[in-house]
Amino acid sequence: MTKPPLHYRIAQRLGLVGHIGYSGLVNGPLGQNTPSPLYTFMLWLLKRGERRKLRQADDSYKNKLDAAINKVANEISSHSALPLPTNGTWVDSNIVLEPGDSITAFAVGRLFFSKSMEISLGTQTCIWYRIGTGNINRFSNNFELISSDHSGPLYFCVAEPGAFKSQAGDPNENRLPYKKTGDIELRLIRWKQAPKLSIKAAAEIEPSVFGDVYQSLSTCQELHHWRHLWRTGKSDIFSVDESDGSISCRTHGDIGIIQYPVDLPLDKDLSLSWSWLVTELPSDISETIRHTHDYLSIAVEFDDGLDLTYMWSSTLEKDTVFQCPLPWWDQRETHWVLRNPQDGTGRWFDEQRNLLEDYTQAIGPSVPARVVSVWLIAGSRWQNIRGSCQYRAIKLANAEETVVVHP
């Protein structure tokens, strides 16, 4: 393997990009046609004021939330405040749930990696919980409706997506190299009536706070046969568009990855085809460093643990190939730019890719045996810019069979 150029090694030391060397990789991809990560970093620094304005728009939410809770006190059986540390430790809420119990949790504050550079995550991305020794779950908004199917104490933790190495919540060693700060608090509510009834009543009294909570109970159509990647946590980003049956993707300050399991040999005939329509991109500078790595894409996972993701980019040329800049992912994920705004947003594009040819070109000649899942990926957590797109007609096909992932 060739030695990375000096500017790339400096970027590695600064924590902007990942490390080279996953299985099967021959000469990269350090980044084919990508700008210097140091140049992208400077562009990102110049947008610090814009990130601050977006972040400050959320600062008044705490007072607004507490006032709203007071207004709906007649609907509440009990409520408490719980401050959370930002060092990644699990905190006992002193609440024990039994099967069928539920809690509505609201989160306020932000997790800061650097206040001076305005690197932070909203609570919809960094609050995790578990019940007893059960699996971890992540908030999908700044509120979460927590229901229990088993007995156990309720624990919470503040951590970035990818911070855990197991679904039990054990910390991952490959975490972002920053000392995290922030004032994050929860408001934990037990309702007097069934949650849906009480939340509906609360939404009628204070719709600006509880309206979104009530809407989340009834409007989101889940995708059948898809699962959330536990490392990034569940999200409300993906749903079925009732108007045409396509998969709708809406991201704003969050991240989501959903997976559709398949099992097909990676032979010379295997292709992935789909149609997509992008209306908004969640970044306006190159997505090749950690703090600008907000994007929309479709991906395939192979049985060697690697994945190849086809993405829209805000600025990169088509057929740019680069390695994911994030910890852990830098050893597993390769990005291939298929589209950019020069193609035109707001219109459908049909795509078809030969997966064996693309794997060999982008990753290397040591080819895996099978394709094991199709992914949809959306992220906007770093820059807090809205992204939106739709997918339809997703299928895998070879000479012998066709697997329809989504019609």
pLDDT in tens, 203-244: 999 999 999 999 988 765 678 899 999 999 999 999 999 899
Q: Alpha-carbon distance 45 to 197, whole Å?
A: 47
pLDDT at 380 over 90: yes
Exposure of 354 in the CB half-sphere (CA atoms within 13 A): 8
User: Cβ–Cβ contacts within 10 Å for residue 114, how many?
Assistant: 14
Instruction: Report which of residues 157 and 327 the model is more confident about.
Output: 157
Pairing of strands 238-240, 247-251: antiparallel
**DSSP alpha helices (H): ranges in 185-237?**
195-205, 207-216
Nearest alpha carbon to residue 281 among 341, 337, 343: 341
Give the pLDDT confidence of 36-78 residue by residue, as tens digits: 999 999 999 999 998 898 788 777 888 999 999 999 999 999 9
Check pLDDT > 50 for residue 23. Answer: no
Three-state secondary structure call for residue 45: helix
Which residue is associated with the tokens 């000649």? Answer: 365
Mean of the per-residue pLDDT values of the chain: 92
Structure confidence at residue 174 (pLDDT)? 61
Q: What is the pLDDT of residue 219?
A: 63
Q: Average of pLDDT values for 138-151?
A: 95
Exposure b/e, 346-357, CB count within 10 A at least 16 = b: eeeeebebebbe
96, amino acid identity:
V
Q: Are 4 and 30 spatial neighbours (Cβ–Cβ below 8 Å)? A: yes
Q: Which residue has better confidence, 203 or 12?
A: 203
Which part of the chain has CATH 2.60.120.430?
Answer: 56-216
The residues, ordered by sequence, that sit 6+ positions from 134 with a Cβ below 8 Å of its Cβ are 150, 152
Question: H or E stretch including 145?
Answer: strand 143-147
Q: How far apart are CA 134 and CA 169, in angstroms?
A: 9
Label residue 24 by pLDDT band (50, 70, 90): very low
Predicted pLDDT of residue 220: 59
The Cα 253–Cα 271 span in angstroms is 33
Q: What's domain 56-216's architecture?
A: Sandwich (2.60)
Question: What pLDDT does 13 receive?
Answer: 87
- The domain 6-30+221-406: what is its CATH number? 2.60.120.260
Q: Which two tokens stand for residue 247?
A: 């998969």
Phi, psi of 42 (to 5 degrees): -65, -40
Residue 247: closest CA among 172, 175, 298, 312: 298
Residue 136 has pLDDT above 80, yes or no: yes
Across-strand partners of 157?
A: 128
What are the start-end ranges of the H helices in 256-404? Answer: 355-362
Maximum pairwise Cα distance, the chain: 67
CATH 2.60.120.260 domain span(s) along the chain? 6-30+221-406
What are residue 261's DSSP bridge partners? 373
